[in-house]
Amino acid sequence: MIRVIIPAPLRQHAGVKGELALKVNGPVTQRAVLDALEARYPMLRGSIRDHATQKRRAFIRFFACEEDLSHEAPDTPLPDAVADGTEPYMVVGAIAGG
């Protein structure tokens, strides 16, 4: 299972608490993890990635294994530690707004 952490407002919106565990079929990429997240929680569609372009929203970041993956290609495999469930994949609301 892939461990996923989403921001508190989205946990509230999806009606979940704490860390999520998602099953991802095939290669574990950012796209695959986010597809699995949105399939399980459809109300999150459009809140992390744009509905049409599937691009990351401006004030969302993706972290894992102490790395900022926000600018990585969506189909690049995630680190092994994420794929084997040792480390979480984190969807982060950027510190912004003054």
Partner 1 sequence: MSSVRVLVGTRKGAFILTSDGARKRWKIKGPHFPGWEMYHLKASPADPNRIYASQSSGWFGQQIQRSDDGGRKWKAVGNQFAYDGVPGTHQWYDGTPHPWEFKRVWHLEPSLTDPDTVLAGVEDAAMFRTTDGGATWTEMSGLRKHGSGPHWAPGAGGMCLHSIIVDPTNPNRVYIAISAAGAFRSDDGGASWKPINQGLRSEHIPDPTAEVGHCVHHIAMHASRPNTLFMQKHWDVMRSDNAGDKWTEVSGNLPTDFGFVVDVHAHEPETIYVVPITSDAHHWVMKGKLRVYRSRTGGNEWEALSKGLPQRNCYVNVLRDAMAVDSLDTCGIYFGTTGGQVYVSADEGDSWKAIARDLPAVLSVEVQTLP
Site residues for partner 1 per CB under 8 A: 7, 9-10, 12-13, 43, 45-48, 51-52, 57, 59-60, 93-94, 96-97
Q: Compute the distance between CA of residue 52 and CA of residue 45 in angstroms, rounded to an integer.
A: 10
Cα 65 to Cα 12, 18, 32, distances in angstroms: 25, 19, 18
Q: Choose between 23 and 51: whose C-beta lies nearer to partner 1.
A: 51
Q: How far is the CB of 96 from partner 1 (least distance, A)?
A: 8
Shortest distance, position 71 Cβ to partner 1, whole Å: 18
Q: What is the Cα–Cα distance from 74 to 30, expressed in whole angstroms?
A: 5
Separation between Cα atoms, residue 5 and residue 65, nearest integer Å: 13
Question: Considering beta carbons, is residue 59 or 80 the nearer one to partner 1?
Answer: 59
**CB closer to partner 1 out of 73 and 96:** 96
